[in-house]
């Protein structure tokens, strides 16, 4: 039986052999292969461009750049992992429509308080190619959708897990401490020999010793770490205890600022944690609003103009002295609230659709809004009251659920990526690094 891996290796060797026969002057103009990844390749010019971009980013963040070979090796490994994920996404039928891509660009522009055109111009001003930005964004969306399908859909968080976590933390007297962590992974492939595991352990011990002598953590992470955060200097960001992988929690809660942990063994290899900073978190106060509304929907017989006309007529009647609640009962097409005079009772931030909530938040107590349009139709809104509430208990419960889910996804993603890499055919031309 033909061995697929041997065929791919033969393809790689044949390509290199052919390249060697080409006249040197011509060869210089060709794109050279630096790695074969399953049935695709990574070209040397692609690696050069990505390594240059990463180096520029590191310089911008005042992070010492490791030797060129080390940086290129790290960048190439990330490119291999990205390509494997895109290949799997293509086989799985994961795609991003042009509309989805446009909406994502618009969201990014909005978060930066810019119009789309202004955002595009800002990219140009920073020396970035917009088409390249779009392609990177498309790939990011595809990979996120793939991970959601392969990992996220399998991760569940039960009420029992949330309650158990809260009970455990309460018994331990834990507070809402946030931890800013650095992380280095010295990876071990699945099925590694005892000798390979021992060598990885020795390397991890060496890294810990160097860090404890004062070696820069970010530079060390870029040089040695084998996880997704390596090129970010190993920075995991700020996390609560619920967002930290369970493997690390006992260690993290006993560490002081600046401390470096001993290597922690997992199926992925040996992990090294540094406590960069810690801080507490404040009470969570929200403003709840008591609100009621009248809704006129649009349909095949009632278009936007007619619906707006009807809701304005109801507003005029209220201005002339008609009772809001009575009109809501007789005219509102939100049947759930109509029976209660249009009342939505007390609502928390984020409970209502944005156009409704934005209009509601601008109203004074007892003020009637102008006609407001949402995807449901046309509304009249009246605010009856506002009050601040300590939402810390529910907020903490929701946050714990989200943290547990993120932690599970992170743990599953690490193992999934390691399996994906170990099971793939990857051939690297070490002379190109």
Residue with tokens 């017989």: 301
- Expressed in angstroms, the distance from the first to the final Cα of the chain is 34
Contact criterion met (CB below 8 Å) for 273 and 255: yes
Across the range 133-149, mean pLDDT stands at 91
Residue 87: Cβ-neighbour burial (10 angstroms; 0-12, 13-18, 19+): middle
Work out the pLDDT band at 283, boundaries 50, 70, 90: low
Please give the pLDDT value at position 15.
Answer: 44
DSSP category for residue 191: T
What digits encode the pLDDT tens for the residues 331-379? 999 999 999 999 999 999 989 999 999 999 999 999 999 999 999 999 9
Work out the pLDDT band at 61, boundaries 50, 70, 90: confident
Q: Is the pLDDT of residue 8 over 70?
A: no
Q: Is the pLDDT of residue 280 over 80?
A: no
Work out the pLDDT band at 175, boundaries 50, 70, 90: low
Across the range 423-432, mean pLDDT stands at 88
Work out the pLDDT band at 397, boundaries 50, 70, 90: confident
Please give the pLDDT value at position 208.
Answer: 96
Work out the pLDDT band at 174, boundaries 50, 70, 90: low
Reference 403, options 181, 147, 157; nearest CA is 157
Please give the pLDDT value at position 31.
Answer: 77
Across the range 291-298, mean pLDDT stands at 96
CA geometry: angle 417, 419, 425, nearest 5 deg: 100
Across the range 275-302, mean pLDDT stands at 85
Q: Between 10 and 425, whose confidence is greater?
A: 425
Please give the pLDDT value at position 357.
Answer: 94
Q: Is the pTM of this model over 0.75?
A: no
């Amino acid at each position: 039986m033909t061995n697929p891996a041997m065929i791919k290796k033969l393809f790689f060797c044949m390509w290199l052999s052919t390249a060697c026969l080409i006249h040197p002057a011509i060869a210089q103009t060709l794109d050279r292969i630096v790695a074969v990844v399953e049935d695709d390749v990574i070209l040397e010019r692609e690696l050069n461009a990505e390594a240059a971009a990463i180096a520029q980013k590191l310089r911008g963040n005042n992070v010492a750049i490791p030797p060129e070979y080390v940086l290129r090796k790290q960048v190439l490994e990330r490119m291999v992992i990205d390509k494997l994920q895109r290949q799997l996404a293509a086989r799985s039928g994961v795609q991003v429509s042009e509309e989805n891509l446009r909406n994502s660009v618009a969201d990014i522009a909005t978060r930066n308080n810019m119009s789309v055109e202004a955002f595009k111009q800002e990219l140009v001003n920073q020396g970035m190619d917009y088409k390249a930005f779009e392609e990177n964004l498309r790939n990011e969306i595809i990979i996120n959708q793939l991970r959601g399908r392969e990992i996220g859909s399998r991760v569940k968080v039960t009420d029992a897990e949330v309650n158990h976590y809260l009970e455990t933390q309460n018994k331990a007297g834990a507070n809402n401490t946030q931890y800013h962590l650095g992380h280095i992974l010295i990876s071990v492939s699945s099925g590694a020999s005892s000798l390979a595991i021992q060598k990885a352990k020795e390397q991890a011990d060496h890294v810990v010793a160097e860090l404890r002598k004062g070696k820069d953590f970010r530079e060390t992470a870029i040089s040695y770490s084998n996880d997704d955060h390596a090129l970010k200097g190993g920075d995991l960001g700020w996390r609560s205890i619920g967002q930290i992988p369970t493997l690390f929690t006992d260690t993290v809660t006993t560490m002081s600022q600046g401390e470096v942990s001993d290597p922690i063994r997992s199926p992925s290899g040996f992990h090294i944690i540094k406590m960069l900073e810690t801080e507490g978190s404040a009470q969570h106060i929200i403003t709840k609003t008591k609100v009621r509304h009248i809704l006129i929907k649009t349909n095949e017989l009632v278009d936007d103009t007619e619906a707006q006309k009807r809701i304005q007529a109801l507003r005029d009647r209220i201005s002339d002295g008609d009772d809001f609640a009575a009109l809501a009962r007789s005219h509102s097409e939100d049947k759930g609230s109509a029976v209660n005079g249009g009342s939505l009772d007390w609502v928390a931030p984020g409970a209502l659709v944005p156009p409704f909530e934005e209009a509601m938040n601008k109203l004074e107590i007892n003020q009637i809004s102008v006609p407001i349009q949402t995807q449901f139709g046309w509304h009249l809104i009246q605010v009856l009251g506002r009050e601040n509430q300590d939402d810390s208990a529910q907020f903490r419960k929701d946050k714990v659920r989200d943290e547990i889910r993120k932690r599970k996804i992170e743990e599953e993603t690490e193992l999934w990526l390691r399996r994906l890499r170990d099971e793939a055919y990857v051939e690297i031309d070490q002379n190109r690094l």
